[in-house]
Structure 1
Amino acid sequence: MKYVLGIDLGTSSLKGILMTSDGNVVLTKSASYGIDNPKQGFSEQRPEIWTNALEKVLTELSKNVTDFGTALAGISFSGQMHSLVVLDENNLPVYPAILWNDVRTSAQCKEIMDKMGSRLLEITGNIALEGFTLPKILWLQENEPEVWTKVKKIMLPKDYLGLYLTGNVHTEYSDAAGTLLLDIEKHEWSKEIAKTFNVSMEILPELTESVGQIGVLTEEVKAKFGITTEVKVFAGGADNAAAALGVGLINEEVGLISMGTSGVVSSFEPKIADYKGKLHFFNHTVPGAYYSMGVTLAAGNSLNWYKETFGHGLDFAELLADVGSVAVGSDGLLFTPYIVGERTPHFDSKIRGAFLGISAVHEQSHFSRSVLEGITFSLRDSKDIMEATKAKKFKRLISVGGGAQNPDIMQMQADIFDSEMIRLTVEQGPGLGACMIAAFGCGFYENLEELTATFVHYQSETFTPIAENVAKYEKVYQIWKQAYQATAGISHQLVDLNDEA
């Protein structure tokens, strides 16, 4: 039996999933690391902490799997998007990686939109936001000019691991799409954007498909971890794209609902779709395809905040135990999950959350349910944009993350989305998608349908909409949608006042 290894480079840890070529998990190992915050709004990591974490994971795998060194056939990656890695002529980092959650680049985002306007959206499918890579490049040019003169290559975090394993510099379309430098339709770096912002085409890495082979393990790496056979290394995918593959998002009939710290709604797109900047739009790990993505900034984060602030020491099971007994709509109580601003569809960093309609009849169980409903309404904003633009309705939605573990939340999602909800037998996250890329790249499967059927499994239980609840939620949702406009002006004034203090 041959093995494939999926390496998921996250913001706080690196996870390695070793799987057999027929889709069974052999062993998972992980290594954690921190984030540096040298100034307010700055978020950085030194790239060497990623390779150190990778070495720890590979060491553990080689120690615990007796035939690791002889049966490993392929490796691929998933990784945090957008973060900027800059290298010198020796492929050594010349500045800490500026991460996706770094917010120092507001001025650069304005500059990009002022110079490119709607043309940026036409080429890249996205508008300029602080998380993307190009604003970070502009910040480095303007604030660290001596560093910028040393930059000979830029890359993304997971691709730095590919460099470590193979000695080659590459990236692939799903991650490149998050830089604001890729022409997503032509599948090439945009000369127009690069020229506008003085980015030499020479510093941009070679592009390939996610399943493209970028090399083989170097002899040095093989010797270090006791590997004796040739191991192919494949480009991999951005974390959200790899996660989409890992849940079976390979056709338009299904959508993905993910409730982690943030909330994500993803849809498979076989061709370019014009969402007019309301959603993110990126190249998929599936060759030639795309995916759209809406984001609720504080999904699980809202629930965590609520638990820590009002939970009185209860765990999540205790806190949510009674939500199923509360009426649909929480008896007139609404919650907007804008506690850290919002992304889709408002793109508003100053909006803040609110409880609306509080009355003397409301108990803690009402507040608990209203938080869950508010999060789900926010996710529905993205789903509705997708369905309206595509003029079709999802046949079913795959739910992952914390919400998928709770039957009450699953039924709530079915009712609010008016869609059949399914969940995975076992969640492995983006690392599973990376394993699938390696398995496909190695030639173990002839097509994606066969690959997905082998690696991705769903629970037999489904959650179907209850007609009475759907009708009630439709009325509540239409009221809930008014909350943004009703509270935005107040939120902005409060944020500005607080900033002055």
Structure 2
Amino acid sequence: MKYVIGIDLGTSAVKLLLVSQTGEVVQETAKDLPLMQVKSGYSEQDPNDWMEQTVAGLTELIEAFEGDPAEIEGMSFSGQMHGLVLLDEQEEVLRPAILWNDTRTTEQCKQIYEEMGAKRLHQLAKNPALEGFTLPKLLWVKEHEPEIYEKAATFVLPKDYLRLKLAGTLHMDLSDAAGTLLLDITRQEWSKELCRMFEIDESLCPPLVESHADIGLVKEEIALATGLSPSTRLFAGGADNACGAIGAGILEEGKTLCSIGTSGVVLSYETNGDKDYQGKVHYFNHGAPDAYYTMGVTLAAGYSLSWFKNVFAKKEEFSTLLADVDSVPPGSGGLLFTPYLAGERTPHADAAIRASFIGADGSHERRHFVRAVLEGITFSLKESLELFRSQGKDITEIVSIGGGVKNKAWLQMQADIFNAKMIKLASEQGPGMGAAMLAAYGCGWFESLKACADAFLQEEALYHPDPERVAVYETLFELYRQVYPATAELNKQLAAFRL
């Protein structure tokens, strides 16, 4: 039997999967990662911690593996997007990595718009200038830490640093490069215009490769330290959302993913990079060859439910909290919830907006509020879905992953609100499985990633939209969409009173 390893470098942990040639997860482990938040809005990590914990995870996998390590043919990577890792000429880290959820770069985002203009930025990078992206981070370091910036020979993203230390070769794949705001998405090359506009030396940008590219063998010292075979091949890997799409089989036109974790994502496959969403959704290169994906984000999806539980049912299990949801009809008895606890991303890039319950009266019980929270999260995700449909996309099937698949009533709610068939996979491993599939494809096990997905992924359950509930939810959705414009200015004024 042959095997591959998928490594998913997240923010809170690095997860490792050992996957067989039949798609079975034979071994898995996760190692926690510390986060540094030295002041409000700052979020950093030490890249050396990524390496240390990954080596520990690989060692644990190999020790538990009953086969010959030489049977593990390949390894690939998924990683948190946007994080800035600056390296000197010796490829050593110059400062802690500035992560995707770091918000110190508001002024740099304003600078990007002032100097480039939103229209031209969207033409090149296909994305808005947001605090999480890499270019604003580069500009922040350039302004506030010039002595460090002057020493920088290159920058990489988190999983690229990990791969560099494991294989000794420097690259960045297209799917992760698309999240830097320096890539010409359509041409699939670093944008000379963007680099020139912001005085970024193009030599700082690492060589670009496809996600399935073979970038060399594991270093001998890593093989010795972990028990891996020195013949293990390493493949470039991809951004976590791109790998999550691969791991869910979003590999052809019309395929769409709904992922509900702390945040929520609606992601749809695109065959080309020429659609114009006017910056309202993210537009990135896929981990699949010569493909793209568009993505809308709800900042507080699963977080809204966790918040409600922690405030109103702290000692209860989620299963108990959700037990009566199905006893409440669509519309929660005239109660609407908007999941803006942490601001919102799509379609309202608004850091000041906050959540609302609308329509509460004395007849409402806790179960009504719980259902309203689930409906509000799903309505927010539907806003992204409708942006895709407005571009002519025919979305009739959606793969649902994350916390949204743990409750049957919520899955049916998604089918009814989205007006699409919802697919629950038999085994859900997310970006780590996508990374493993990139390694399997790179090793030549399959002629395409789609063929790999057909072999590795199986459907467990289907949820079909009910026409009567679809009609009810269409009416409620139009009411939901009125809440944001009605409360936006009010929330800006309330900001002065927040703790």
Same fold, TM-score > 0.5, yes or no: yes
Structure 1 residue aligned with 2:320: 318
- The equivalent of 1:223 in structure 2 is 224
Q: 1:68, CA displacement in angstroms?
A: 4.8
Q: CA deviation at 1:449?
A: 2.6
Query: Which residue of 337, 340, 345 corresponds with 1:338?
Result: 340
Q: Is the 8 A contact 2:242 2:287 kept in 1?
A: yes
Whole-Å separation in 1 of the counterparts to 2:101 and 2:195: 23
Structure 1 residues 104-139: Cα deviation after superposition (integer angstroms, max 9, x where no partner):
000000001111111111011101000100000000
Displacement after TM superposition at 1:311 (Å): 1.6
1:247 and 2:248 correspond: yes
Contact 2:63 2:227 in 1 (8 A): no
Q: Tell me, what secondary structure is at the counterpart of 2:178?
A: helix
Corresponding position of 2:177? 176
In the alignment, the residues of structure 2 paired with residue 15 and residue 22 of structure 1 have an alpha-carbon distance, to the nearest angstrom, of 20
SS at the partner of 1:306? Answer: helix
Aligned ranges 1:38-53 → 2 under 5 Å:
38-53=38-53
User: What is the CA distance between 1:448 and its match in structure 2?
Assistant: 2.5
Aligned position for 2:112: 112
- Segments of structure 1 that go 5 or more residues without pairing to the other structure are none
The counterpart of 1:370, out of the listed 364, 369, 372, is 372
Tell me the TM-score normalised to structure 1 length. 0.98
Superimposed CA distance per residue, residues 51-92 of structure 1 (whole angstroms, 9 cap, x where no aligned partner): 001111111012111335221111100000000000011101
Structure 2 match to 1:299: 301
Are the counterparts in 2 of residues 5 and 74 from structure 1 also a CA contact under 8 Å? Answer: yes
SS in 1 for 2:498: helix
CA RMSD of aligned residues (A): 1.0
Output aligned runs, 1:348-359, within 5 Å: 348-359=350-361
Q: Distance in 2 between matches of 1:437 and 1:361?
A: 53
Residues 29-178 of structure 1 mapped to structure 2, 5 A cutoff: 29-117=29-117, 118-178=119-179
Structure 2 letter corresponding to 1:6: G
* Runs of 4+ residues deviating >6 angstroms: none
Report the 3-state secondary structure (helix = DSSP H, G, I; strand = E; otherwise coil) of the residue aligned with 2:30. Answer: strand
Task: Name the SS of the counterpart of 1:330 in structure 2.
Answer: coil
Q: How does 1:8-47 map to 2 (within 5 A)?
A: 8-47=8-47
Cα distance in 2 for partners of 1:444, 1:150 equals 42
Q: 1-side partners of 2:102 and 2:455: how far apart?
A: 38
AA paired with 1:404?
V
- Given that 1:69 and 1:225 are in contact with CA atoms closer than 8 Å, whether structure 2 keeps it comes out as no
Q: Please tell me whether residue 496 in structure 1 is matched to residue 496 in structure 2.
A: yes
The amino acid across from 1:225 in the alignment is T
Cα contact 2:72–2:229 (8 A) shared by 1? no
Q: How does 1:419-458 map to 2 (within 5 A)?
A: 419-458=420-459
Question: Quick one: distance in 1 between partners of 2:294 and 2:228?
Answer: 39
* In 2: Cα distance, 1:215 partner to 1:100 partner: 28
Letter in 2 for 1:95: R
Aligned-pair CA distance for 1:284: 0.1
Instruction: State the match for 2:207 in structure 1.
Output: 206
Distance between the aligned counterparts of 1:201 and 1:474, measured in 2? 49
Query: Which amino acid in structure 2 is aligned with residue 481 of structure 1?
Result: R
CA displacement at 1:498 relative to structure 2: 3.4
Q: TM-score, normalised by structure 2?
A: 0.98
Provide, for residues 460-483 of structure 1, a one-character-per-residue CA deviation record: whole Å limited to 9, x for no partner: x31111111111111111011000
Q: Which amino acid aligns with 1:64?
A: A
C-alpha distance after superposition, 1:173-220 (max 9, x if no partner): 000000000001111100111111111111111000000111111122
* Aligned counterpart, 1:264: 265
Q: C-alpha deviations, 1:138-169, integer Å up to 9, x for none?
A: 00000000111111110000001110111111
In structure 2, distance between residues paired with 1:429 and 1:228? 26
- Structure 2 unaligned segments of length 5 or more: list them: none
Whether contact under 8 Å (1:61, 1:68) holds in the other structure is no
Secondary structure at the counterpart of residue 347 of structure 1: coil
Instruction: Tell me, yes or no, if the aligned pair for 2:219 and 2:230 is still in contact at 8 Å.
Output: no
Note if contact 1:134-1:179 (Cα within 8 Å) is conserved in structure 2.
yes
Q: How big is the shift at 1:3?
A: 1.1
Aligned length: 497
Partner SS, residue 93 of structure 2: coil
Percent identical across equivalent pairs? Answer: 49
Residues 229-288 of structure 1: CA deviation (Å, up to 9, x unaligned): 411111000000000000000112221111100000000000122111000000000110
Give, in angstroms, the shift of residue 227 of structure 1: 3.1
Confirm or deny: 8 A CA contact 1:80 1:158 kept in the other structure: yes
Q: In the alignment, is the contact (CA less than 8 A) between 2:283 and 2:294 conserved in 1?
A: yes
- What CA distance in whole angstroms lies between the structure 1 residues aligned with 2:312 and 2:230? 56
Q: Which moved more, 1:369-378 or 1:68-77?
A: 68-77
Could you list the per-position Cα deviations for residues 304-352 of structure 1 after superposition, in whole angstroms to 9, with x for gaps in the alignment? 0000011252211111111101011001000000000000000000000
